């Protein structure tokens, strides 16, 4: 019998994605500094609908002095101490890649030190060596919502050009250190979430900004220049490096066939893709130049910024994909306001929605991949995140029947295949997440994404024991067939 040839390349990256601040824990160990996430508390959304908004200094400073256990990102799932046994499970699943981030605060605890923290560097040496031992390639994010808090409180976040220099210095230190251990880099996680998230993406304290919109665009400019400078340095350090950066991809549909609604969708694409346009084409798009001109936004630039952007473009685009949205003219231009509002009236009646209101849409992934392939002339694309948060149930005999998660991944992989047939150069798939971790948005543990269950509640209580979910076994078989077989008995 001839073996069916897989549509996925033989070196396709089948992995899993996580971020340091959501799973390493050990927030104050081995010299680590305090980061933005370390002061974000868990809020019981059954009792309150309010996720705290980090728009003033008081809320941040309260977090610094509070020693209670309501800050889940401080303890994560303690991966800092369990990485060997967790990687064993990843290896057993057949993962050949593992997307994680380096915590900036482990290397430069306050961001502005002259010399890096050796204990922090040594941890990632151990981690990447442990990956190599298991033939797992690390895909390493340099900035994943994890800036030293000192740079937020005392430098004003990314709008300060000094932060750009600190970030490039940090990136050069780690790229030098791990040049033989890491090949794939993602410079910024979801760089476009800066459009809606001043604190975690840009380190801005909204109430302290005279003009938050201006501060937003200036900060984004600094991130784009930092991105280009990191690419430039990477080419010198190791020409074999593959340098990518990442967008969240949230395909929008028009609420009606009204031309104005469709125009709003197109404008939201221009907005969400404006940073990847710069990172891939090396310049701001005509739409953005028009927007800046008509809104009197004058970015402060160094003399060579535009040349640096032009020269140093990325090798591949990484994306996260979870859900799609519906837009209508009345919502206005996404570029105009930093607040994100998942408006009830924008529900898509054709899609199912998770308990957390995320609309499940596998075909949307194919639409997005087709769109990005056309816009970016076939540039390689890596799926750095895709998954679904559920409230899993652990039975007395240690089982988790997460058929919903299997079905989610299965249907998305089916659409990846369609996109490849349509011409997408897809290089990897990283479910978020191989193991349960703390949610970025709500700091909960109960919103579980993993294929491995971690026995721990929202406040960190529990045995921390790991259990293989049904999706673990499904993912393992699927990887063994290189994505060819999705249906198993």
Residues that bind ligand BG6 (CB under 6 A): 19, 22, 189-190, 248, 320, 385, 389, 432, 439-442, 447
Question: Smaller CB distance to ligand BG6: residue 145 or 316?
Answer: 145
At its nearest, how many Å lie between ligand BG6 and the CB of residue 477?
25
At its nearest, how many Å lie between ligand BG6 and the CB of residue 430?
11
In Å, what is the CA distance from 149 to each residue of 20, 38, 199, 200, 382?
Answer: 15, 9, 10, 10, 30
Question: Smaller CB distance to ligand BG6: residue 82 or 439?
Answer: 439
At its nearest, how many Å lie between ligand BG6 and the CB of residue 437?
7
At its nearest, how many Å lie between ligand BG6 and the CB of residue 266?
23
Question: Smaller CB distance to ligand BG6: residue 145 or 155?
Answer: 145
At its nearest, how many Å lie between ligand BG6 and the CB of residue 317?
15
In this structure, the strands spanning 184-188 and 252-254 are: unpaired
Question: Smaller CB distance to ligand BG6: residue 117 or 471?
Answer: 471
Gap between the Cα atoms of 437 and 427, Å rounded: 25
Please classify residue 320 by burial: count the beta carbons closer than 10 Å to its beta carbon, then call 0-12 exposed, 13-18 middle and 19+ buried: buried
At its nearest, how many Å lie between ligand BG6 and the CB of residue 220?
17
Question: Smaller CB distance to ligand BG6: residue 35 or 442?
Answer: 442
| 443 neighbors 356 (Cβ within 8 angstroms) | no
At its nearest, how many Å lie between ligand BG6 and the CB of residue 449?
7
Please classify residue 295 by burial: count the beta carbons closer than 10 Å to its beta carbon, then call 0-12 exposed, 13-18 middle and 19+ buried: middle
> What's the N-to-C CA distance of the chain in angstroms?
21
Tokens of 173: 């230190």
Q: Which of 158, 188, 156 is nearest to 171 (CA)?
A: 188
Please classify residue 180 by burial: count the beta carbons closer than 10 Å to its beta carbon, then call 0-12 exposed, 13-18 middle and 19+ buried: exposed
Gap between the Cα atoms of 149 and 401, Å rounded: 40
Question: Smaller CB distance to ligand BG6: residue 167 or 291?
Answer: 167
Q: What is the DSSP letter of 252?
A: E
Question: Smaller CB distance to ligand BG6: residue 160 or 189?
Answer: 189
At its nearest, how many Å lie between ligand BG6 and the CB of residue 128?
21
Whether cis (ω within 30° of 0) applies to the bond prior to 455 is: no
Residue with smallest beta-carbon separation from ligand BG6: 441
Question: Smaller CB distance to ligand BG6: residue 288 or 445?
Answer: 445
Q: Which residues pair with 248 in a beta bridge?
A: 320
| 192 neighbors 272 (Cβ within 8 angstroms) | yes
């Amino acid at each position: 019998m001839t073996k069916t040839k897989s549509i996925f390349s033989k070196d396709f990256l089948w992995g899993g994605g996580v971020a340091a601040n959501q799973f390493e824990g050990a927030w104050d160990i081995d010299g680590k500094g305090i980061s933005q996430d370390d002061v974000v508390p868990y809020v019981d959304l059954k009792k309150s609908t309010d996720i705290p908004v980090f728009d003033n200094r008081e809320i941040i400073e309260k977090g610094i002095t509070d020693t209670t256990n309501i800050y889940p990102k401080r303890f994560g799932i303690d991966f800092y101490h369990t990485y060997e046994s967790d990687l064993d499970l990843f290896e057993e699943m057949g993962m050949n890649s593992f997307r994680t981030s380096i915590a900036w605060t482990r290397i430069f605890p306050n961001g502005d030190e002259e010399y890096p923290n050796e204990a922090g560097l040594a941890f990632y040496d151990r981690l990447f060596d442990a990956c190599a031992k298991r033939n797992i390639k690390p895909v390493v994010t340099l900035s994943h919502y994890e800036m030293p808090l000192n740079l937020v409180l005392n430098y004003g976040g990314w709008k300060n050009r000094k932060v750009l220099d600190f970030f490039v210095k940090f990136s050069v230190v780690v790229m030098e250190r791990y040049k033989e251990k890491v090949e794939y880099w993602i410079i910024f996680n979801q760089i476009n979430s800066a459009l809606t998230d001043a604190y975690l993406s840009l380190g801005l304290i909204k109430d302290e900004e005279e003009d938050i919109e201006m501060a937003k665009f200036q900060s984004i400019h600094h991130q784009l220049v930092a991105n280009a400078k990191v690419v430039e340095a990477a080419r010198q350090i190791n020409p074999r490096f593959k340098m990518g950066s990442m967008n969240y991809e949230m395909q929008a549909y028009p609420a009606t066939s009204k031309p104005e609604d469709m125009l709003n969708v197109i404008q939201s694409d221009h907005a969400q893709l404006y940073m990847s346009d710069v990172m891939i084409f090396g310049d701001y798009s005509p739409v953005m130049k028009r927007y800046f001109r008509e809104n009197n936004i004058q970015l402060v630039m160094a003399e060579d910024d535009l040349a640096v952007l032009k020269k140093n473009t990325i090798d591949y685009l990484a994306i996260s994909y979870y859900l799609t949205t519906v837009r209508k003219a009345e919502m206005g231009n996404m570029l105009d306001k930093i607040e994100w509002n998942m408006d009830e009236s924008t529900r898509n009646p054709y899609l199912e929605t998770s308990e957390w209101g995320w609309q499940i849409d596998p075909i949307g992934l194919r639409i997005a991949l087709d769109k990005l392939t056309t816009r970016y002339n076939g540039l390689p694309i890596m799926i750095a995140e895709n998954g679904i948060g559920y409230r899993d149930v652990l039975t007395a005999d240690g089982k988790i029947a997460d058929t919903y998660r299997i079905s989610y991944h299965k249907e998305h992989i089916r659409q990846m295949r369609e996109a490849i047939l349509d011409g997408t150069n897809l290089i990897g798939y990283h479910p978020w997440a191989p193991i349960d971790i703390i949610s970025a948005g709500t700091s909960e543990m109960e919103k579980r994404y993993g294929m491995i269950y971690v026995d721990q509640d929202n406040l960190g209580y529990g045995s921390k024991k790991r259990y293989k979910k049904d999706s673990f076994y499904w993912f393992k078989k699927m990887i063994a067939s290189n994505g060819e077989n999705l249906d198993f008995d």
